Structure formats: C-alpha cells, structure tokens
Structure 1
Amino acid sequence: MADVLTTIPNVGPKVAARLRRLGVERVEDLRGADPEELFERTCAMEGRQEDPCLLDTYHAAVDYATTGEARPWWEYSRERLAR
C-alpha cells in the first residue's frame, strides 16, 4: 500500500513518519493545521531543536493540503529568513 502522505509535495518517507507520529494519517488531516505547532510538537517528541527546514516543509505541506498549491519548501525558508 502506498504511503498517502508521500503524495504531498516535499514530503518524503522520513517527514511522513514524523507526521504520523503527530497523528497525521491523511492529507486532509493537515488542512488548516498550524505548521508552527506541528514543528514545536516534533521538537518536543524528539527532545531537541529540529532543523528549521522541517518547519518550512510543514508550512509547504499544510498549504498544499489547505489550498492545493504546491510550492517548494525552500520558498518558505526564504520567507522565514526575510521576517
């Protein structure tokens, strides 16, 4: 059976596994989610600060699930760094 989370642009098997640990099983589970909160929960579960690129990937995944727009995660990195 194919991993439905890896059908999300920018989400590979490792990010999909992290999302599943957060209770995300389907693309629809990300609609309207808070990427910052997902990132904070991931850091807490791992017991360390994760790479901010994971936050950018969460932003890309949530936006895709919410709007259907697929943008590369590094565009979110540029926006984050510009703030």
Structure 2
Amino acid sequence: MNPANVSRNKLEKLTDLPNIGPAIASSLRLLRIDKPDDLVGRSPLELYHMLSSIKGKRQDPCLLDVLISITRFMDGDDPRPWWHYTAERKRMFGVHQETS
C-alpha cells in the first residue's frame, strides 16, 4: 500500500502495510508472517536472509529496504516509502547482501 494511504487503525492484512502489495505479502507468508503484528520486534536483515534461503537465491537488496520500512512502521515509526531507507541500508549493510 502507498505509505500516504496507510492507517494504523486498519492493519488487518499484510497489504495494509506501507509498501506491501500482493507479491511481497506472499513472500512474507513464506516466513510465516500472516498479519502485520507478526512483524513486531523482528529484524529486517534476519527476515531478508531467511527469505533468500527459502527462495534459494539472494533477493534484491531493495527488498531489505521494504523490510526495514515495515518493521520500523510496526515498531511505531511513521509510514515512509521504501526508498527512504536505501541510503541507510547501504551504510549499514553494504550495497550487496549475501545469504547466510
């Protein structure tokens, strides 16, 4: 969902989260994340590595930006577009990610 349209009062399904559409919602379900509350306290980097492992290949690093956006949102931050976190991800984790 577009971050500008997100309402904390209406967080029933994954696609109610900022930056989450059907494709990423499907990927989150592979991690047994079925509702927004399942993201509270989760590590975006850990989720990224788990998803890379499940899918058998390194995921696009921009997915990590999305995961940062939704975990931060569920921890109380304002909804922001996923690209807001790109520079931070590059500083913290580097441009490329490896699966572990």
User: Does structure 1 residue 64 correspond to structure 2 residue 73?
Assistant: yes
| Matched residue, 1:12 | 21
Amino acid at match of 1:10: N
Cα shift at 1:69: 1.6
Cα shift at 1:68: 4.6
Aligned ranges for residues 2-81 of structure 1 at < 5 Å? 4-81=13-90
Cα shift at 1:81: 2.2
Cα shift at 1:75: 1.0
Aligned length: 81
Amino acid at match of 1:41: M
Unaligned segments of structure 1, at least 5 residues: none
Query: Retained in 1: the 8 A contact 2:64–2:89?
Result: no
- Structure of higher CA gyration radius: 2
Q: Distance in 1 between matches of 2:89 and 2:68?
A: 10
Q: Distance in 2 between matches of 1:31 and 1:68?
A: 12
Unaligned segments of structure 2, at least 5 residues: 1-11, 93-100
**Structure with larger RCO (C-alpha < 8 A, sep 6+):** 1
Q: CA RMSD in A?
A: 1.3
Cα shift at 1:65: 1.1
Cα shift at 1:26: 1.0
Query: Retained in 1: the 8 A contact 2:69–2:80?
Result: yes
- Sequence identity (%): 37
